[in-house]
Amino acid sequence: MRARAPASSANLGPGFDVLAVALSLYVEVEVTAADRLQVTSSGQGAELPADANHLAAQIATEILGHDHLAIRIHSDIPVGRGLGSSAALAVASAAASGASDPMAVGARIDGHPENAAASVVGGLVAATAVGSRAVTRSLALDAELRFVVAVPDRPLPTQEARAVLPARVDHADARFNLGRLALVIAGLADHRLLVQEAFEDRLHQGARSSLFPEAPAILAEMVAGGALGACWSGAGPSLLGVATGSTAGTVKAAAEAALSRQDVPGRVLVLEADREGVTVVPGGDH
């Protein structure tokens, strides 16, 4: 079978490890029967070892119980940039292998469920662990919204981004994030209600700026260029500006200028929300 799963942007400012939106950037995995394990990879992540250690191969062989497989991967999702590449790959690999619950596979690989949930169901999701299971709910998302993503050329490993987070947070900071979370959910449902302050956060973005000190200036320039709000995308270093169809081009130009001014090589993408999630095309056999 062949499966395609979208990228995702998690956190969206205050929704740390809870909110994510699926984006129109994809990874495709095809799993078919073969005499021996064969792994081929193209696009983003093609430099990773194409052998049994590849995440797609690990998932497919675990689900199917053997390695007599030909696994083909093509990805347009940058690796290590905060766009849910691992979760999307895990979801697509699980779906292409016939898993009954690709989201559970993706959540297990990622360690938290929001990226996997967005890749599975599409759109804007809230996801969290309830006991031993991942529970996700789709949230309203304004069809006029576009997502401008500044993607630096340099990666930022998720483990490193998590290592700088404080072990404890103040009650006032938790209350601050809860208030902003309510604002961002309402604003993403109707962009006319969105205020720039909705994307403020006191749990992770400030701490992670020590790893990417140019980030605050780039985010500020995206907002000055017309973004309705801006935040880190997942664990970074990609930065997300929320715009509408009519302002996305201006925000993109502002982000490109900001990267140049801060001497941060990279590219800027204008993406729509993916509303389908993972899709499967039957074919071949296992």
First CA to last CA distance, the chain: 9
Token pair in block for residue 140: 């309203």
pLDDT value at residue 214: 97
Q: How far is CA 69 from CA 25, 41, 101, 186, in A?
A: 26, 14, 20, 46
- How would you classify the pairing of strands 279-281 and 239-244? unpaired
Domain positions in the chain are 2-139+274-281, 145-271
Average pLDDT, the chain: 95
pLDDT value at residue 284: 47
State the residue for tokens 């404890």.
168
Stated pTM of the model: 0.94
- Per-residue pLDDT tens digits for 21-45: 999 999 999 999 999 999 999 999 9
Q: How far is CA 73 from CA 70, 90, 93, 257, in A?
A: 10, 11, 9, 33
DSSP designation for 273: B
286 has a pLDDT exceeding 80: no
Fold of 145-271: Alpha-Beta Plaits (3.30.70)
DSSP designation for 224: H
pLDDT value at residue 283: 61
Q: Which CATH class is domain 2-139+274-281?
A: alpha beta
- Picking from 273, 212, 252, 255, the residue whose alpha carbon sits closest to that of residue 12 is 273
149 near 252, Cβ under 8 Å? Answer: no
Same fold, 2-139+274-281 and 145-271: no
